[in-house]
Structure 1
Amino acid sequence: MTDFDPEVDSGAPRRLRLRRSRTVRLAALGFGCVCAAAVHGTASAHLGAIDALWLAGAVVAALCASFARYERRQPVLLELTPEGIAGFGRGGQRLFQGRIVGFSQWAERLLVFAVAGPEARRSDAFVVAADAVDAAAFRALAVRGRHAAY
């Protein structure tokens, strides 16, 4: 479900709901498997196959914890305003707000935004995968990012 209407051109903020991306989750799973295999293969030459399993398991646990932290920090609602963009978490807390200062698009599948807040000490980056929103909203976000960042 999305509240986003690309045809509306009023000064009021537009809201866009984001879904969790299956593509990002599958990519993270694949990355974790490759890392675990690499650690096991490298460590087994020095420690033995059984002892290397413990090390590979520790790597998988660390990567899972890191990915869980990443998912908690991703917005579930974006608010597009004429001045910039804001992202809100599950509990309604504001995760970031400001103007778009950087933007990248990869193969019509992934958008990466950098948003600088009012104090501009550092920028916050967030990722929007194509399967997290509908096609019209993805195109509108891509256009907004291109125009705002350049």
Structure 2
Amino acid sequence: MSEDLRPLGDPGSDAFRVDAYPFYLLNRAVGRYNVVIETELRAIGIDIPTWRVLMILGEQCPLPIAQVARLAVINISTMVRIVERMAKAGLITTAPSQQDGRATDLHLTDKGTQTLTAARAKTAPLYRKLIRGISAEDFSKLLSLLDLLHDNLE
């Protein structure tokens, strides 16, 4: 049985240790990932927020701008600026939603689909490097634990 490190991750504890605080460790990993991935994405002319939007629309398209913002973890005012930039670059188009005329749907263009394909090719080697040494079981557990942390914040 392993030591219970949860009390050490409690910022209210006198025994608190930053290396046992999951959100510090998550931010450290994401920060490093963003530095590395940004270099790859800039080589094809996009940034991380554009990559997020492309990935989301690559799974399901069209989607309302508000839903894309939520899924991309981008506030709506920032999302509007990203959408304007992406539309100007020819990566997406916007149109009134057929389900709700008050909403604006985002659609990938052919150029957006091509850019998504290029971005996936650029980022795949890093992903493969990141998961190296992680078993299928541990990877599945990691995803479940991250979902649980997210759900506990709701």
TM-score, normalised relative to structure 2:
0.28
Higher strand share: 1
